[in-house]
Amino acid sequence: MSEIVRIRQGEVRGVTGPGGVKVFRGLPYAASTAGHGRFAPPGPAPAWSGVRDASVNGFTAPQNDPEFNLSVVPAMGEDCLNLNIFTPAADAGLRPVLVYIHAGAFVSGGGGGATQDGSILARDEDVVVVSLNYRLGVFGWPPFKARGGTVSNNLGLLDQIAALKWVRDNIAAFGGDPGNVTLFGYSAGGWSIVALMASPLAKGLFHKAAPQSGSEFTAGSRERQNAMAKALLARLDKSPTEATVAELLAAQQAQIEASQNDPARLVEEGPTFGPWLDGIVLPEEPLAAVIAGRAMDIPMLIGTTADELGYTPFRAGLAWLDAMHTREASLTTLAAEYGPDAAETIWAAYESAAPGASEAVLAGHIRSDRYYRLPAIRAAEAHAGRAPTWMYQFTLPATSAVAGYVSTHATDLAFWFGTMAASPLQAFLFDRAPSREEEAVAVRMRRDLAGFARTGRCDWPAYSPDRRATRLYGAEDSLALDPGAIGRKAWPIKA
């Protein structure tokens, strides 16, 4: 069965999936960024005559190494600013809208894979789910302002803002409430959400925020941008003075992609591309804006897995990654940020909390907390004084040997969507079909996320710096007070 809906651009024909969910894929929310649209901010979405087919995914953003959570990688192309909609009915229902921003360290991933299919979430919770693609790598986050100093180089964030404007203007036709939009997103998506909360250009476009396993919540300095631009242009065999916008526009997509593919890129130590300080979209670092009270005062649901970057078999064997998981490397990194004395104190706290653990395991715990758990705690502490805030932690361990039997990064991703049975990411992490207990946890998580989207509240105590109430999604439904990081009290957690 098909479903025809009229939006501002024209008519679209979707399909009816299992359970009666109406699915519309590949809807352009902005103009093409191919050709002369490269490095340009997103323009108005094109109109069309007749009925546009919306039964298949649109282009995914160009990327060197597509994430394995995409079961069948859609065709990639620069004309990638499109989104997908999953709705129980294209009627006047004014349902809560959940807009998902995908993961991938700002260089990979997409909104159209099996893991992030919104059908089950939409069907079971009577919400409208939107997933979107945005520009990645150098196409989305160039370390230079190719269009001049008055145009932001946070093109990926501008894409996300354009998608939110499209949702505001069109989602009512799909049964959604444009006045009740919740952003949820994983990893780079969670980081993006906090950046959007800090951006004056996104104000009023969403009303609740659920950043999931977002890392750091920082933005690249001008110095880092200059260094990145110099390195990128060198790999294109151009000096900064020779690299004109015209040359970059004329260069082949594959040539530019190859230039950004540094085999020594330390993804887990900090992304190569991502939000930049630009004075336009981001006047300051996102986490700093939250701490200072200059981010949006909207309800927030935030959390991580229990061991985001734990040392597991799939994080072993690569020389550059093994080198991170040593006491010496940990102390060097911590000393640069907190000072030598604090570095020793932090290491000792983790060593005491896990007696007998290897250096690699301890370093993995520290990296998990430094890049994921502690930024979430800092954000929740600061935000709780200004808007309702809830914290969760996913504690179910992966069950495959390669995932190390820990609750590693992305272990919970398919749980939020209820797509465990269809997700290749889930198969990698769990190596089997989901158990009845895991299905029950996923049901609980979907209900909590949808309930938060509906009311701006969760059914456990709100987070506060003194109590730190945290929902634990694990083998048993439970509430913890101050689960925190292993050695949280050893960290200087105030900005």
Give the C-alpha separation, 231 to 238, whole Å. 10
Tell me the pLDDT of the chain averaged across its residues: 89
Listing DSSP states for 330-394 in one string gives HHHHHHHHH-HHHHHHHHHHHHHHSTT--HHHHHHHHHHIIIIIHHHHHHHHHHHTTS-EEEEEE
Give the C-alpha separation, 401 to 217, whole Å. 31
First-last CA distance in the chain: 55
> Which residues belong to the active site?
187, 308, 409
The confidence score (pLDDT) of residue 148 equals 83
Kindly state the tokens that stand for 365. 């715990």
The alpha-helical segments, DSSP class H, found in 114-176 are 119-125, 137-140, 155-170
Q: Is the pLDDT of residue 237 over 80?
A: no
What are the phi and psi torsion angles at 396 (to 5°)?
-65, 125
Q: Comparing C-alpha atoms, which of 23, 211, 45 is closest to residue 128?
A: 23
H helix or E strand, kind and range, residue 95: strand 95-101
Q: Are 288 and 170 in contact (CB under 8 A)?
A: no
Q: Is the pLDDT of residue 268 over 70?
A: no
Q: Is the pLDDT of residue 155 over 50?
A: yes
What are the phi and psi torsion angles at 477 (to 5°)?
-70, 120
Range 36-57 average pLDDT: 94
Residues 161-189 have pLDDT tens digits of: 999 999 999 999 999 999 999 999 999 99
Q: Is the pLDDT of residue 489 over 70?
A: no
pLDDT confidence tier of residue 315, bands split at 50, 70 and 90 = confident
The alpha-helical segments, DSSP class H, found in 101-154 are 119-125, 137-140
Q: Is the pLDDT of residue 247 over 90?
A: no
**Angle, nearest 10°, between helix axes 188-198 and 155-170?**
80
| Percent over 90 (pLDDT), the chain | 69
Q: Comparing C-alpha atoms, which of 353, 309, 306, 312 is closest to residue 330?
A: 309
The confidence score (pLDDT) of residue 318 equals 78
Give the C-alpha separation, 334 to 353, whole Å. 18
Q: Is the pLDDT of residue 47 over 50?
A: yes
Give the C-alpha separation, 92 to 36, whole Å. 39
The confidence score (pLDDT) of residue 227 equals 82
The confidence score (pLDDT) of residue 123 equals 97
Give the C-alpha separation, 31 to 364, whole Å. 42
Q: Are 488 and 343 in contact (CB under 8 A)?
A: no
Give the C-alpha separation, 171 to 182, whole Å. 13
Q: Comparing C-alpha atoms, which of 354, 264, 250 is closest to residue 310?
A: 354
Q: Is the pLDDT of residue 244 over 70?
A: no
The confidence score (pLDDT) of residue 20 equals 94
Residues 339-398 have pLDDT tens digits of: 999 999 999 999 988 899 999 999 999 999 999 999 999 999 999 999 999 999 999 999
Kindly state the tokens that stand for 464. 């506060």
The residues spanned by each domain of the chain are 2-313+368-490
Q: Are 59 and 76 in contact (CB under 8 A)?
A: yes
| Percent over 70 (pLDDT), the chain | 88
Q: Is the pLDDT of residue 215 over 60?
A: yes
Q: Is the pLDDT of residue 488 over 60?
A: no
Give the C-alpha separation, 468 to 120, whole Å. 31
Residue bearing the bigger pLDDT, 419 or 265: 419
Range 287-296 average pLDDT: 95
The confidence score (pLDDT) of residue 483 equals 58
The confidence score (pLDDT) of residue 264 equals 36
Range 455-480 average pLDDT: 88
Give the C-alpha separation, 402 to 64, whole Å. 24
Kindly state the tokens that stand for 82. 């499109």
Give the C-alpha separation, 298 to 252, whole Å. 42
Residues 396-447 have pLDDT tens digits of: 999 999 999 999 999 999 999 999 998 888 899 999 999 999 999 999 999 9
Residue bearing the bigger pLDDT, 30 or 67: 30
- Residue 226 pairs in a beta bridge with none
- Residue 184 pairs in a beta bridge with 100, 210
Kindly state the tokens that stand for 191. 């980081």
pLDDT confidence tier of residue 319, bands split at 50, 70 and 90 = confident
pLDDT confidence tier of residue 202, bands split at 50, 70 and 90 = very high
Q: Is the pLDDT of residue 255 over 80?
A: no
Q: Is the pLDDT of residue 11 over 50?
A: yes
**What does DSSP assign to residue 192?**
H
CATH, domain 2-313+368-490, list 3.40.50.300, 3.40.50.1820, 3.20.20.10, 3.40.50.10490: 3.40.50.1820
Write the CA distances from 7 to 52, 92, 313, integer angstroms: 11, 14, 49
